[in-house]
Structure 1
Amino acid sequence: MTDLINKIYFDKIRWILAHLKELDVSSDEIVVILAIVVLNEEKLEVNIESIANLTPLTSKQVDDAITLLAAKRYLEIKVCAGEVSFSIDQIFELKKQVNNDVVDLFKIFEEEFSRLLTQNELVRLNEWISEYDRDVIIESLRNASIMQKLNFNYINRILENSKNE
């Protein structure tokens, strides 16, 4: 994927716009991401002021968005030879990783249950994925398996109990 995103013919802006719903970013964050793409493609200096000048955002809004994007690991800020560079290439890699983690989680459940999951179970698992950490979900599955109570209601109670602790 890294090779693909570094090719000239890969339209980062179009890809980002096509995957907006999946990225879970605010409007300020998306404006900053798109500004970084434009500034990098034009080989212009990327900093808070240059982004603020290019967009309707204030320097404070840009700084806040950069902080959130870095926390989400969508933005990497590198300092090399005294120069600061902003890279959003992680957006493309992270999305692939998140999708792989979800697919792996489905496979883990299907292997543990020794069958394909039903539609209702898939929906419930998706709800858990949005609410709980992947490792907590797997640990709850393992606990249910150890107790020989492999059903989604039991796993749900384990998850709810872990949330309350």
Structure 2
Amino acid sequence: MSLPFSYQQMLVEQLNVPTKLIKSYSSLDLTETDMMVIIQILSFQQQDELLPSFDQLAENMTINTNEVSNILRKLKNQGCLSISHFEDENKVTQEWYSLQPLIEKLYNQEGSSNSKEEEGKLFSLFEQEFGRALSPIEIETISHWLDEDRFNPSLIKTALRESVLMGKLNFRYIDRILNEWKKKGIRSVKDAKKSTNNHQANKQQEPVKKRDTSVYYNWLEE
């Protein structure tokens, strides 16, 4: 007696879709229809149809080929889809819809939110060290370091710490430190500490220059 339903067949025919994508697609500004197009692409690629046509994708959906085309364009513009090339085993160049940008974007979200949280703490740290609220110009300066110069928040914290240790707590001095590190290609706290240690070691090795007293009059021996 054959069973009307084959659980084994379902396992063979199932499609793997990341759970994180199912739970978080809306945070990427994707709609349910966008998701279904993505699922259709995955389904075709599982059957070795790497670059399904608009007609093929629309065939299993309730939208037409023009709508499929618009969604694919949207996914590409949002950095969720690309058309990539590779050489198969016969050295023939093949094209396929790559969803690698979508996966990278999906799993980088957590790191991005952590970065924003770290940036928020940075402003609080500056206010704590300066003992007052930051002025609009000072806030703009920190934002410039983050957005334009692309300094890591931890590197900015290190520059702030350097200014405190040197007794020169002001934005101009911190900016000079960061710009000097930028010229030297220093983009991490580890590199900054290494540069500081090397500078201090070189200072200690420099011979102490004796002052030439021959040009000075010795009033004590008069």
In the superposition, the TM-score normalised over structure 1's length comes to: 0.57
| Partner in structure 2 of residue 42 of structure 1 | 47
Shift in CA distance, 32/83, structure 1 to aligned 2, threshold 3 Å? same
The Cα of 1:110 is off from its aligned counterpart by 0.4
| Partner in structure 1 of residue 125 of structure 2 | 114
Name the aligned partner's letter for residue 18 of structure 1: K
SS at match of 1:78: strand
Listed one character per residue, the Cα deviations across residues 44-76 of structure 1 (whole Å, up to 9, x for unaligned) are 242212111222221100000000000111111
| Partner in structure 1 of residue 103 of structure 2 | 92
| Partner in structure 2 of residue 76 of structure 1 | 82
The Cα of 1:139 is off from its aligned counterpart by 3.5
Shift in CA distance, 23/70, structure 1 to aligned 2, threshold 3 Å? same
Shift in CA distance, 100/14, structure 1 to aligned 2, threshold 3 Å? closer
SS at match of 2:108: helix
| Partner in structure 2 of residue 63 of structure 1 | 69
- 32-41 vs 86-95, greater mean Cα deviation: 86-95
| Partner in structure 1 of residue 27 of structure 2 | 22
- Could you list the runs of 5+ residues in structure 1 that have no partner in the other structure? 1-9, 116-136, 147-165
- Could you list the runs of 5+ residues in structure 2 that have no partner in the other structure? 1-14, 87-91, 127-141, 148-169, 172-222
Count matched residues: 116
Shift in CA distance, 96/55, structure 1 to aligned 2, threshold 3 Å? same
Name the aligned partner's letter for residue 101 of structure 1: S
In 1, the alpha carbon distance for the partners of 2:24 and 2:113 equals 17
Quick check: 2:25–2:31 contact (8 Å CA) kept in 1? no
Decide which structure has greater helix share.
Answer: 1
Which of the two has higher C-alpha Rg?
2
Greater relative contact order (CA < 8 Å, ≥ 6 in sequence): 1
